[in-house]
Amino acid sequence: MTEPIRLRRPRPVRTAISLAPMIDVLMIMLVFFMVTSTYLDLDMIRAVAPTTEETPATAPGPETETDAQAPTLLVRIDASGGAAVRGQPLSPPQLASLLRDTVTERPATQVLILPSGAAPMQALVTVMETATQAGATRLRVVRLEARP
């Protein structure tokens, strides 16, 4: 009697994937993301807004001022970054209280900011922020342009 043939199964090979290349790639990605990312928290202030949201929420009633009647308050920013209204140099708290008083009294007040070309960016942003915090909704930055 013949013995049944025993087929030998190939032993399962422990596929030991080499992990070193994977770790290399991971480390490179890690260093890449660490180096290229910026961690500064960035916000924005719109300078030019899309014109789609032009429709005012409330129709101007008889007691609300129309744009033509609304007073304007011109805030100048000098070359050193100081603010002045009606020729009077104002400290930041004075400017804030003036803006708050004006806007509370006449909410439709248009605040115009006329900065000197030599003023730093921070001065403009600070004045814009003061006006926003005072509740001014109509804010505009104007600039003098040389006539060609």
Contact set with another protein (CB under 8 A): 16, 19, 22-23, 26-27, 29-30, 33-34, 36-51, 77, 115-126, 128-129, 132-133, 141, 143, 145
First and final C-alpha spacing in the chain:
115
CA distance 148 to 134: 37
Whichever of 69 and 122 has its CB closer to another protein, that residue is 122
Whichever of 9 and 143 has its CB closer to another protein, that residue is 143
CA 50 to chain centre: 15
Coil, helix or strand for 93? helix
| 29: its two tokens | 């990605």
DSSP secondary-structure letter at 119? S
Whichever of 60 and 74 has its CB closer to another protein, that residue is 74
Residue 14 beta carbon to another protein: minimum distance, rounded to whole angstroms: 8
Coil, helix or strand for 104? helix
Residue 115 beta carbon to another protein: minimum distance, rounded to whole angstroms: 5
DSSP secondary-structure letter at 147? -
Whichever of 12 and 62 has its CB closer to another protein, that residue is 12
Residue 9 beta carbon to another protein: minimum distance, rounded to whole angstroms: 23
Whichever of 8 and 11 has its CB closer to another protein, that residue is 11
Residue 82 beta carbon to another protein: minimum distance, rounded to whole angstroms: 14
Residue 27 beta carbon to another protein: minimum distance, rounded to whole angstroms: 7
Q: Give backbone dihedrals phi and psi of 114, rounded to 5 degrees, phi first.
A: -115, 95
Q: Residue written as tokens 């049944």? A: 4
